Amino acid sequence: EPEVTQTPSHQVTQMGQEVILRCVPISNHLYFYWYRQILGQKVEFLVSFYNNEISEKSEIFDDQFSVERPDGSNFTLKIRSTKLEDSAMYFCAITLLAGVEQYFGPGTRLTVT
């Protein structure tokens, strides 16, 4: 089973600060996704990334968010100016191919104060 790590596991930041969340798949994957889960709520899709570009994004993924794969391995989610409501668990997921199961990372808990 492919392994996915995420760093940091927990980040506390002040409102208005920029944060970068990292996802590191151990093996080569084509499809990357970010999801978030606000405490006590359901998981929500943010963005999917394929072939080094965004393939789909949700309404949540506004101009404050961006994703990239800067060095061909790490997959990052950047929030430019954090808001209190960005506090959530952020999950990265990967698939090798289209139409197969996703593998989730352990998540990064972001707390905006």
Contact positions toward another protein, by CB under 8 A? Answer: 31, 33, 35, 37, 41-45, 48, 50, 55-56, 58, 89, 91, 93, 95, 98-104, 106-107, 109
The torsion of the CA quartet 89, 95, 100, 106, rounded to 10 degrees, works out to -30
Residue nearer to another protein on the CB measure, 17 or 31: 31
CB of 48 to another protein, least distance (A): 4
CB of 56 to another protein, least distance (A): 4
Contact 107, 43 (CB under 8 A): no
Hey, what are 97's tokens?
Answer: 């191919």
CB of 81 to another protein, least distance (A): 25
Residue nearer to another protein on the CB measure, 72 or 99: 99
Residues 6+ apart with CB under 8 A from 80: 18, 63, 64, 65, 66
